[in-house]
Amino acid sequence: MNADIHTLTGAYATNALPAEERVDFERHLRMCEACGSEVRELQATTALLGVAAAMPPPPALKARVMAEIVQIRQLGPDLLPGMRDSNPAGGPATRLVRWTQRAVAVGIAALVFAAAGLGVLTYQQRTELRQQEAQVASAVALTELLTATDVKVNSVVSDGATGTVVASRQRNQAVFLSSGLPEVAEDRTYQLWVISAAGPTSAGLLDLGEQGTTGPVLASDTGGAQSLAVTVEPAGGSPLPTTTPLLIVNLPV
């Protein structure tokens, strides 16, 4: 076991620890709140990176980024609110702040690439500008969710498809991601549902990408819900589910 067990959060979050060290580290997690928070941040970011990596950016994206990057002033880390290190001793709290900064930055980058992959490029036109503004608003909401103090992650695998939920009870929100979903007919679509004691409520349609991946979808009013579910519905969606769910992911508690 590594002498400084606090440094193993990244390896644990990406399932890279050997079995023996994983058992020891999980025992440590039950006693170390700082490492537990850091692991949750990294797991959430890893989930988003997986989706972003599965969505290749359009060919025009690189040229546009290279042309505009020289005009963008870079902000130093001391300008990020709430991220200043108050523990000069370099203990777990210091590492948590450092990892949180990285997790937020990487999470935002992943969301920007996901938005670009959806084709929001020519913002000069009014319609596309509105679309881009909606993507930015969604990215901000997702970033705020990922940095919530109570954020938790849960995943399930069913018939080769994987569903992941990143949720915050305090913010009453959850983001859903998936991979491995099979293709559906042109007159059918995947729909996401918030399942609560009152019944299912639509959280929107899922856009199916390469290898059955879907981009992050933000679901609201999840504080009292039990799970998120995915069904196949007629194109345009349904007011209520009409098929048996392919994926049901319990909201983490």
The predicted model scores a pTM of 0.51
Predicted local distance difference test score (pLDDT) of residue 228: 95
Q: Which uninterrupted H or E stretch holds 63?
A: helix 59-69
The mean per-residue pLDDT over the stretch 219-226 comes to 89
**Which pLDDT band holds residue 231 (cuts at 50, 70, 90)?**
very high
The yes-or-no verdict on residue 164 having pLDDT over 80 is yes
- Distance, in Å, from the CA atom of 96 to the CA atom of 33, rounded to the nearest integer, reads 10
The radius of gyration computed from the CA coordinates of the chain, to the nearest angstrom, equals 20
The yes-or-no verdict on residue 33 having pLDDT over 90 is no
Q: What class, spelled out in words, does domain 152-250 have in CATH?
A: mainly beta
The mean per-residue pLDDT over the stretch 202-228 comes to 88
Predicted local distance difference test score (pLDDT) of residue 86: 47
Higher-pLDDT residue of 102 and 160 is 160
- Distance, in Å, from the CA atom of 155 to the CA atom of 117, rounded to the nearest integer, reads 24
Pair of tokens at residue 237: 């969606």
The mean per-residue pLDDT over the stretch 184-212 comes to 91
When the pLDDT of each residue in the chain is averaged and rounded to a whole number, the result is 74
Predicted local distance difference test score (pLDDT) of residue 120: 47
The mean per-residue pLDDT over the stretch 97-114 comes to 54
Length of the chain in residues, anyone?
253
User: Lowest-pLDDT range, 83-87, 127-131, 151-155?
Assistant: 83-87
So where are the chain's domains?
5-146, 152-250
| Conformation bin of residue 77: beta by default, left when phi > 0, alpha when psi is -120 to 50 | alpha
Q: Which uninterrupted H or E stretch holds 62?
A: helix 59-69
By percentage, how much of the chain surpasses pLDDT 70? 58
Q: Which amino acid, 22?
A: R
The mean per-residue pLDDT over the stretch 189-211 comes to 91
